[in-house]
Amino acid sequence: MELIVFVLASAMVLSGAIGVVLFRNPVHAALGLVLTLFGVAVHFVSMEAHFLAAVQVIVYAGAIVVLFLFVIMLLGVDRAEDLTIEPLKLQRPVAIVLGAGVTVLVAGAVVRGADTLGRETNASAPGDSNIRALARSLYSDHVLAFELTSVLLIVAVAGTVVLTRRLKKSEG
């Protein structure tokens, strides 16, 4: 079962990452990023790091991607750009060399760490009590501030959408 979850989550991460790079529409690329971040959260859950999975979904997939979408809307990416003009001539070859280097490093790390797969880990790590204390404090003592922050973020989303909305020619 663990292998199936790992393979499916890895497929989510890889397909989302490829989508981020290949999608021409920035909104679709942001959705690919969300898929990648959810796949990473599934990996965290499979390693019994539930707090990190929750933070991954709430902070990164929620707040950071919403921030990306704000920037996309503010910049008005609906205009076409000429991709044949390259401002930096060495940009693509350097990117290919760096990408190949990172691929070799990741492959080396996977091969080197293959012998550690299947070892049992200590589930009750020393930092676990800190996480429990943080969660207890956040969701009991400071729950009003936590919820007010979420309302503030929703108002910010709505305000940004209203401010960046373009009027059609017949409206203005």
Q: How far is CA 64 from CA 14, 49, 60, 114, 120, in A?
A: 19, 21, 5, 33, 34
Six token digits for residue 165: 């909305």
Task: Indicate whether 97 pLDDT > 90.
Answer: yes
Query: Rounded distance, CA 165 to CA 159, Å?
Result: 10
Query: Rounded distance, CA 38 to CA 13, Å?
Result: 8
Kindly report the pTM of this predicted structure. 0.50
Provide the pLDDT for residue 17.
Answer: 94
The beta strand positions in the chain, using DSSP E, are none
Question: What is the pLDDT averaged over residues 77-98?
Answer: 76
Q: What is the mean pLDDT of the chain?
A: 80
Task: Indicate whether 14 pLDDT > 90.
Answer: yes
Six token digits for residue 120: 């049992």
Confidence of residue 118 (pLDDT cuts 50, 70, 90): low
Q: Give the rounded percent of residues in the chain with a pLDDT score beyond 90.
A: 19
Say if CB 70 and CB 50 are below 8 A apart: no
Provide the pLDDT for residue 143.
Answer: 81
Query: Rounded distance, CA 143 to CA 135, Å?
Result: 10
Highest mean pLDDT among 5-19, 39-53, 57-71, 147-161: 5-19
Q: Which domains does the chain have, with CATH numbers?
A: 1-78+154-167 (1.20.120.1200)
What are the pLDDT digits (tens) for 36-46?
999 999 999 99
Provide the pLDDT for residue 119.
Answer: 65
Confidence of residue 112 (pLDDT cuts 50, 70, 90): confident
